[in-house]
Amino acid sequence: MAFSLNFKTAFALAAGLLVMLTAAHQAQAQQAGQVKSSHGAWSIVCDTPAGAPSEQCALMQNVIADDRPEVGLSVVVLKTADQQARILRVLAPLGVLLPSGLGLNVDGKDIGRAYFVRCFSDGCYAEVILDETLLTTLRAGTTATFIVFQTPEEGIGIPVDLSGFTDGYASLP
């Protein structure tokens, strides 16, 4: 529920941020920046965006649906440049049904949906504030399943391994 309730807050905050990391172009594409460390299924990737005064880092994982190799996601957790908020951002491929949003379930428990906030040539982005409730759920979980829709009736669940998430998040500058 926190996943969808915090969307408006996430959107307002994201609009006011000066500098944020961008997710990888596609799940198959190489990650932008340099991998600083690996934590289970997650990597900390750092880069200095154009015009930014310092390096910025994000915790990332790129995944592909088991039964649909053309459907992949980039899952990114980052702290805002001012260190005041944490954001969970997911890049889904073009062609997803936007009104249905992005579903999330952790270890079989429905967390909610987030709406897509924008699309670019590399895909469509959904993002939410990573509040303490959602952060605790992800830390305690083993598998997060993100659900994208190609039609209102056809959801595609893409599992994301949460092993290493806790250590990776703790190591995120």
> For residue 13, what pLDDT is reported?
34
At residue 16, the pLDDT reads 31
- Report the chain (173 residues): mean pLDDT per 10 consecutive residues: 40 31 34 86 93 90 89 94 91 94 97 96 96 97 96 92 97 92
* Spatial CA neighbour of 122 closest among 11, 25, 34, 23: 25
Q: Which homologous superfamily is 36-171 in?
A: Invasion associated locus B (IalB) protein (2.60.40.1880)
Q: Residue 41 has which token pair?
A: 């299924």
pLDDT at 64: 92
Predicted pLDDT at 22 = 32
Task: Specify the pLDDT at position 33.
Answer: 85
C-alpha span between 110 and 28 (Å, rounded): 27
Whole-structure pTM value? 0.79
pLDDT for 18 equals: 22
Alpha helices in 29-160 (DSSP H): 132-140
